[in-house]
Amino acid sequence: MAEIDLPAPAPLAVQAEPRDSLMIRLTRAWLDRSDSAHTRTAYERDLRYWLGWCQERDLHPLGARTLDVDSWLAMQRDAGVRPGAGPASRRSVARRRSAVSSWYAYLIMNTASDPEPLISHNPAAGARRPDVDRDHSPTVGLSRAEADRLISAADADGLRSSAIIRLMLTNAYRCASVLGASVTDLGHDRGHQVLTTTIKGGHIVRDPIPPATAGAISAYLASRGDPAGGPLFVTRTGQRLDEGYLYKLVRRLARRAGIAAADEISPHSLRRTAITEALDATGDLRKAQDLAHHADPRTTRLYDDGRGKLDGHAAYVLGTRYGARGDS
């Protein structure tokens, strides 16, 4: 883990430097508790947002109060975590509050019996929890026609783009699974071409890769001389791709495909689209849950557009009932 920036030690804190060193050491240990690299990255990013906010206000995080955390959460709700980011979703705000609360709880647990604990209260625990709609996913999805156009745009863009977009749309993978995959993770099992990946929570899963997607991956690897190992998807210089690349790729191709919400689409939009399409095509929540690798079926139901589909909304029925607007 990279060094965590901390504000200058508070006055009167003769032992501030050792205390900060202990805090950094415990922070590394807190992050390392998770088996999932994706979770570690997300927690570190969320904590950095909080520490950065504290540093900008000359507030040492060990001296923060609940009102400070509430102010930080309110800022995210109104303006986002950084300039130009735009207001954060309730889910993002709730996740960041939870991450910071977990960090403080770990500091308390590890130093409670010390002569001078790092901190004895958890300022994030009492902070207001944003109300989150458990029956709605804010991620923008694609219609079937839009997904088809996105695939066509990816195919025209190049072999790497084709392989990535097809894999995300057929297997509902998160960014971490796509970016973390290696060539040696590909294989065969009982006639199926498969990809073994590590998913959220650190679990290892093996998924079948549909023929068209497998063909796109094979063509891409052939263009690289069929490497025996290394990352599955790489830059032109052979380095593993990062999450920023996927965001830019998806939006660039979405614009090229003429998708109206191109500037709102993210890689997770492809995951949502895949899960929703699986629900529509199979009508089987369990199969969609297996595709998404959700531990709880209620999470999969967030993607079930069938419960409130826009194209089947009663407003359209009433619109037909009352007819077109006259010119009078």
Which pair of structure tokens corresponds to residue 34?
């998770």
Together in a domain, 170 and 294: yes
Together in a domain, 148 and 103: no
Q: Rounded mean pLDDT of 55-73?
A: 93
What's the total number of domains in the chain?
2
Q: For the chain, give the percent of residues with pLDDT over 70.
A: 82
Together in a domain, 169 and 299: yes
3 pLDDT more than 50 = no
Together in a domain, 155 and 98: no
Containing structural domain, residue 164: 144-183+209-312
Local confidence band at 132 (pLDDT 50, 70, 90 cut-offs): very low
Reported pTM: 0.63
pLDDT tens-digit map of 234-263? 999 999 998 889 999 999 999 999 999 888
Which pair of structure tokens corresponds to residue 168?
């995300």
13 pLDDT more than 70 = no
Q: Rounded mean pLDDT of 5-30?
A: 65
Together in a domain, 65 and 149: no
Local confidence band at 313 (pLDDT 50, 70, 90 cut-offs): low
Give the domain CATH number at 214: 1.10.443.10
Who's near 6: CB < 8 A, 6+ residues apart?
20, 23, 24, 51, 55, 60, 61
pLDDT tens-digit map of 276-297? 888 888 888 888 888 878 877 7
pLDDT tens-digit map of 185-201? 999 988 888 999 887 76
The answer to whether residue 253 sits within a structural domain is yes
Q: Rounded mean pLDDT of 13-37?
A: 78
130 pLDDT more than 70 = no
DSSP 226: -
Together in a domain, 60 and 173: no
Q: Which helix (H) or strand (E) holds 76?
A: helix 66-79
124 pLDDT more than 80 = yes
pLDDT tens-digit map of 91-118? 788 889 999 999 999 999 999 999 999 9
The rounded distance, in Å, linking the Cα atoms of 48 and 42 is 10
